[in-house]
Structure 1
Amino acid sequence: MAERIDCDIAVIGGGSGGLSVAAGAALMGASTVLIERGRMGGDCLNYGCIPSKALIAAARQAVIWQHSAKLGIRYDEPEIDFPAVMRHVKNTIAAIAPHDSAERFAALGVRVLQAEAYFAGPGIVQAGTTMVHARRIVIATGSKPAIPPIPGLEAIPYLTNETVFDLTEAPIHLMILGGGAIGVELAQAFRRLGIRVTLIERLTCLSREDEELSDLLINALREDGVVLHERTEVTQAENTVSGIVLTLRHADGSTDRIAGSHLLVATGRKPDLASLDLARAGILADARGITVDNRLRSTNRRVFALGDATGLSPFTHTASYHAGVVLKNALFRFPARADHSLIPRVTYGDPELAAVGLSEAEARASHGRITILRWPFAENDRARAEGRMEGLVKAIVSPRGRILGVAIAGPQAGELIQPWILAMQKRLGIGAMQAMLVPYPNRGEASKRAAGDFYRPKLFSPLTRRIVQFLARFD
């Protein structure tokens, strides 16, 4: 028999954002239903952030021997047990999974329904045989791989981020379509695990990032042995006896064919909304995602959307941020608004790339006069001691010292960017970063040094020297 549930809030999707809303709502006393058709934890736990970082960690261990000789330590080239590496990936997921499990959320007071969900009306969600009537509904269905319309691709047994971590045997030659963060991270990781890798990008790799910094990572990929084809289109895909064959057309009009054992499609993501029947609830959406206002309300004011379902910012931390905005609006009627101007991003290559705020090009277009502050890790004592001096801190600042954007390339860039994020969120000027007391020796000192350069022209000017000389006359 069909069951009816009445609740304060129903959440569709058990990924990062949906879980945050469900846990928060239940702990604050709202009757809560969470509906998930697949694996709890969503893309980030099962197919994205966690497995990719576990793979990257293994890949970094595989190349330590190449960098240690300059420190006086020599290793033999390692033996890579690819099945064991992939077991490490799976074990990492399994270790985190209980935190996102249906059992844990049931213990928090959330009613968990593991079924396909769709709208049966403006405030009604059908989940299997259960009809959920909710005062507020949150769509947190995430995204899925966007597959390009390449002739023949539909007949190829290609991989995506949802299947690549299921590999148990090492590919002989992995071809990757897409030079964004996912494609670049996995290209470097698989290459360092001894696999031949070819990366194909229609435009330029990491085109969203500051070119000065992204070039450092792209060059690192080449040094690792990744074959790069930028400004190259795939015009045909074929599945042959000898493997998967791609026909390439380069920017100069020339063509050639390459063959590989495996093909990974990493050409972007698209919101996963098809099964929801949004029109029955009066919810507008397009190819980019659900239409929402700055309070994350859809065109049905009882329904909110967050994370990848909105198409606003495709990061797990954005979904978690959205969850807080939704809870304030849905539970407390507080008109909290989402601000996407300071969403940070990190590409977890080696070196890492991290950025927040405006790029140099964006800052010049919107602010005109700007100051660029740089401090290379080659001038950082900790980096010298570790023998890892590649990269730099780059800050974009207004003439009055307002921090407009920051990008960092280098080891641990994702951690080093965090004080800058806090400074920008709290609207602290560049002086706050310059005045920050940091332990020595530390890579974080590079941020302080970069900030200090803002004051260098005035501090060491002829006027300053005249003032000092004048004051020296007095005892």
Structure 2
Amino acid sequence: MSKHFDAIIIGAGQAGPSLAGRLTAAGKSVALVERKLFGGTCVNTGCMPTKAMVASAYAIHTARRGAEYGMAVGAVSVDFARVMARKEKVRLDARSGVESWLKGMKNCTVFEAHARFESPTEIRIGEELISGEQIFLNTGARAAVPDFSGVDEVSYFTNSSIMDLTELPEHLVIIGGSYIGLEFAQMFRRFGSKITVIEKGPRLIAREDPDVSDTIRAILEEEGIHVRLNAECIRFAKHEDGIAAGVDCTSGPPEVIGSHVLLATGRRPNTDDLGLDKAGVKTDARGYIEVDDFLRTNVPHIFAMGECNGHGAFTHTAYNDFEIVAADLLDNDTRRVTDRILAYALYIDPPLGRAGMTETEARKSGRKLLIGTRPMTRVGRAVEKGETQGFMKVIVDADTKEILGASILGTGGDEAIQSILDVMYAKRPYTTITRAVHIHPTVSELIPTVFGDLSPAT
């Protein structure tokens, strides 16, 4: 006979534990099932460990530039084992915090095993069968491994497995010139590896505007990172010096020989082994669980939160999924996925902060636009820090004065973008910012100025 719960949550990523906390506080009995590591991608292989490594790389890079700041230093060496030990402490502390919280939560029963549907209301966990009034899926996603020729004949890393690297690569070849690949490219270059980024498309991070991607490429190449674009036939083979990665670019050698390979080629949802067919839950062609604006699947008592629903591949969107579900079910407060404004950051140095539309998207919308830009060389804070790479760009609807989007590529850009995002959520015109008095000296103080210098898009 199965044990019955008011709610079953599958997955202890960003949304699941917080929802368990709200549901148990409301007096509901909750079963939370986690088959591997508490905390999900962010805690274990994503944000926290990678940004710990980014921080180490930034400190090392700054130390190498010490003379610019009047610091007398000798040659800066890298203790890669200590870099990885620091990273490991960050993620283990976070993981144990989530696990302890859940296991100490009143009215929450934690199962550490794989969960599969037996019916729309029943979940099998090993030999045990449990049932629930409501079921919440928070199963996340994993690295996608494309079917490149020869990929099964060589050793490679994904963004997850590279977290357990024990030696510094001599030459790390990164397949994929987007967010994950570029963060690893810069950090490992700063640790001392030779880096080649191979991208199938004509430019890096194709999702961004050309001026953003071109500036990012220049920043990375200035640090000695080699970029190979238009790689139409990526393939692999063993080589006496490591691994041969076939490129077939229009310029440059047809092969790159590296000691290690990182595949940073996207993600796929963890939905293929949940038995969703037995529950009648629909997925799209890529395997993402289909949900409505309230995160309900086609089966009304089953919800999907986080990366597995295809509505955001970020920690902040997963947490917002929890907030939407909790508000709608417990607070009588209607919140929707479509209320969300797209926002994210790329954590190279300097970082890219993004909110809303790109300029390319805004132009395609057919609106009459106003655009403002300012190089970071004209931002006092950036000059004082000696970090003047990048620029700010804002896009406004000329008729309604609505802020459509913004890109801040520069020191503090990931933080400064938030003030623009808040005005966008408040649905206030851009003039709200132009009349604001920001603190000097900061990066944010130039945001009113860049909005004050808007010009019609040509």
Shorter-normalised TM-score: what interval?
over 0.9
Contact 1:371/1:396, CA 8 A, preserved across alignment: yes
Per the TM alignment, residue 125 of structure 1 is displaced from its structure 2 partner at its CA by: 1.1
Pairs within 5 Å for 1:9-408: 9-101=7-99, 103-109=100-106, 110-203=108-201, 204-251=203-250, 256-286=254-284, 287-331=286-330, 335-339=334-338, 342-399=341-398, 400-408=400-408
SS of the residue 2:5 aligns to? strand
What is the rounded CA distance, in whole Å, between the counterparts of 1:83 and 1:67 in structure 2? Answer: 23
Per the TM alignment, residue 236 of structure 1 is displaced from its structure 2 partner at its CA by: 2.3
Per the TM alignment, residue 197 of structure 1 is displaced from its structure 2 partner at its CA by: 1.1
What is the rounded CA distance, in whole Å, between the counterparts of 1:116 and 1:443 in structure 2? Answer: 47
- Point out the more displaced range, 136-145 or 444-453: 444-453
Given the alignment of the two structures, is residue 433 of structure 1 paired with residue 433 of structure 2, yes or no? yes
What is the rounded CA distance, in whole Å, between the counterparts of 1:155 and 1:22 in structure 2? Answer: 43
Pairs within 5 Å for 1:403-422: 403-422=403-422
Structure 1 stretches of 4+ moved >6 Å: none
- Point out the more displaced range, 360-369 or 36-45: 360-369
Percent identity over the alignment is 31
Unaligned ranges ≥5, structure 1 = 458-475
Contact 1:245/1:258, CA 8 A, preserved across alignment: yes
SS of the residue 1:275 aligns to? coil
Q: Which amino acid aligns with 2:256?
A: I
Counterpart position of 1:466? none
Q: Which amino acid aligns with 1:105?
A: L
Q: Which amino acid aligns with 2:453?
A: D
Contact 1:234/1:246, CA 8 A, preserved across alignment: no
- Point out the more displaced range, 215-224 or 135-144: 215-224
SS of the residue 2:374 aligns to? strand
Contact 2:377/2:383, CA 8 A, preserved across alignment: yes
What is the rounded CA distance, in whole Å, between the counterparts of 2:244 and 2:250 in structure 1? Answer: 20
Aligned length: 452
SS of the residue 2:414 aligns to? helix
- Structure 1's 295 and 49: CA in aligned 2 closer, same or farther, altered over 3 A? same
Contact 1:216/1:351, CA 8 A, preserved across alignment: no
Per the TM alignment, residue 24 of structure 1 is displaced from its structure 2 partner at its CA by: 2.1
- Point out the more displaced range, 208-217 or 314-323: 208-217
Per the TM alignment, residue 67 of structure 1 is displaced from its structure 2 partner at its CA by: 3.3
Per the TM alignment, residue 361 of structure 1 is displaced from its structure 2 partner at its CA by: 1.2
Contact 1:247/1:255, CA 8 A, preserved across alignment: no
Per the TM alignment, residue 244 of structure 1 is displaced from its structure 2 partner at its CA by: 1.3
Q: Which amino acid aligns with 1:205?
A: L
Per the TM alignment, residue 255 of structure 1 is displaced from its structure 2 partner at its CA by: 6.5
Contact 2:120/2:280, CA 8 A, preserved across alignment: yes
Q: Which amino acid aligns with 1:141?
A: T
Per the TM alignment, residue 40 of structure 1 is displaced from its structure 2 partner at its CA by: 0.3
Q: Which amino acid aligns with 1:165?
A: M
Per the TM alignment, residue 331 of structure 1 is displaced from its structure 2 partner at its CA by: 4.1
Contact 2:390/2:409, CA 8 A, preserved across alignment: yes
- Structure 1's 433 and 356: CA in aligned 2 closer, same or farther, altered over 3 A? same
Per the TM alignment, residue 340 of structure 1 is displaced from its structure 2 partner at its CA by: 6.2
What is the rounded CA distance, in whole Å, between the counterparts of 2:314 and 2:189 in structure 1? Answer: 25
Contact 2:236/2:243, CA 8 A, preserved across alignment: yes
What is the rounded CA distance, in whole Å, between the counterparts of 1:376 and 1:131 in structure 2? Answer: 60
What is the rounded CA distance, in whole Å, between the counterparts of 2:422 and 2:222 in structure 1? Answer: 35
Counterpart position of 1:472? none
SS of the residue 1:23 aligns to? helix
Contact 1:15/1:42, CA 8 A, preserved across alignment: yes
What is the rounded CA distance, in whole Å, between the counterparts of 2:435 and 2:96 in structure 1? Answer: 43
Contact 1:158/1:264, CA 8 A, preserved across alignment: yes
Residues 345-400 of structure 1: per-residue CA shift (max 9 Å, x gap): 10000111111101111111114210001222222222222222222221100113
Q: Which amino acid aligns with 2:262?
A: L
Contact 1:214/1:353, CA 8 A, preserved across alignment: no
SS of the residue 1:73 aligns to? coil
Per the TM alignment, residue 251 of structure 1 is displaced from its structure 2 partner at its CA by: 4.3
Contact 1:210/1:407, CA 8 A, preserved across alignment: no
- Structure 1's 88 and 160: CA in aligned 2 closer, same or farther, altered over 3 A? same
Residues 172-209 of structure 1: per-residue CA shift (max 9 Å, x gap): 11111111100000000000000111111111211111
What is the rounded CA distance, in whole Å, between the counterparts of 1:151 and 1:295 in structure 2? Answer: 41
- Point out the more displaced range, 313-322 or 61-70: 61-70
Counterpart position of 2:451? 451
Q: Which amino acid aligns with 1:395?
A: V
- Structure 1's 10 and 433: CA in aligned 2 closer, same or farther, altered over 3 A? same
What is the rounded CA distance, in whole Å, between the counterparts of 1:138 and 1:347 in structure 2? Answer: 30
What is the rounded CA distance, in whole Å, between the counterparts of 1:170 and 1:97 in structure 2? Answer: 25
TM-score by length of 2: 0.94
Contact 1:402/1:430, CA 8 A, preserved across alignment: yes
Residues 81-115 of structure 1: per-residue CA shift (max 9 Å, x gap): 111111111011122223211x3212222211010
